[in-house]
Chains A and B, each alone.
Chain A
């Protein structure tokens, strides 16, 4: 009974936070500096780990699919398989999970420690809405940056797959690129980007929400940080199914 109650409370808080973000976004003053700062933190600083993940994902995809497709003599399709899987699915989901672990956790920890040290109260006292000041820039920074990271991931992953398929497995380089561009539609790319934007929204709102409602000192901050990552990861995986269903 307690768990069910807590579950619905959590969902309620999520939508409350989301609503708060939507309501406060158009209000002035717009804090461009803070938005830019958060975009650098979420986007630019995550670039190395995102690139590494994408590259190795593309490489291992090529390794697996080339071996399989060779059995049917269909190895010229490796390129399209790697790129479709990456563009439609893997880049967005893996990117979302990594940013949840990197930035979502940071949001939970930062806002959590601001809560327990009364900094959030102090903001309110100084006529500053903490959702406007803290949450809005973090959420939009993530919504904008995650799709951009996914674009880069797509390219790097395809390139990694090419390296393995051509150099390691000895397939035809022209066929790899040909099938890649022949079978990957623009709509495949955009569907991945739309998903990424949603994942960014979910993970940032969840991270901020966990931090915002922290109680219980240092231990509470730790709990919020863990929950920010765990809940965001689960939500990304579950919503991925439904978003894919909706976006075809």
Chain B
């Protein structure tokens, strides 16, 4: 580790980094998402046109990525709350992070087909 740094690595720092990165990505998506939804005030065609983009395979995969980012940010956010408000939170912060990762993996596996079913159906038949 370089001398004179406050960064300590391991679970504590990397979860903080991931929380920042996912948070910024989600915020940028939210900005775009409000703009695309505002097209319902222009015309049904304008809205359906832009929603067609959301149904292309590449963007559908990005939606799975969005779910991944939001799920991590949500679960790790609950961990941050536990660390801040639960008296034993700081002591168990590492175990809490691995619980977050475990729940995240299970939920991501469960969301795989529901989120990507549109692409799977269009690419591999009915």
| Chains A and B form a bound pair | no
B residues whose Cβ falls under 8 Å from a Cβ of A:
none
A residues whose Cβ falls under 8 Å from a Cβ of B:
none
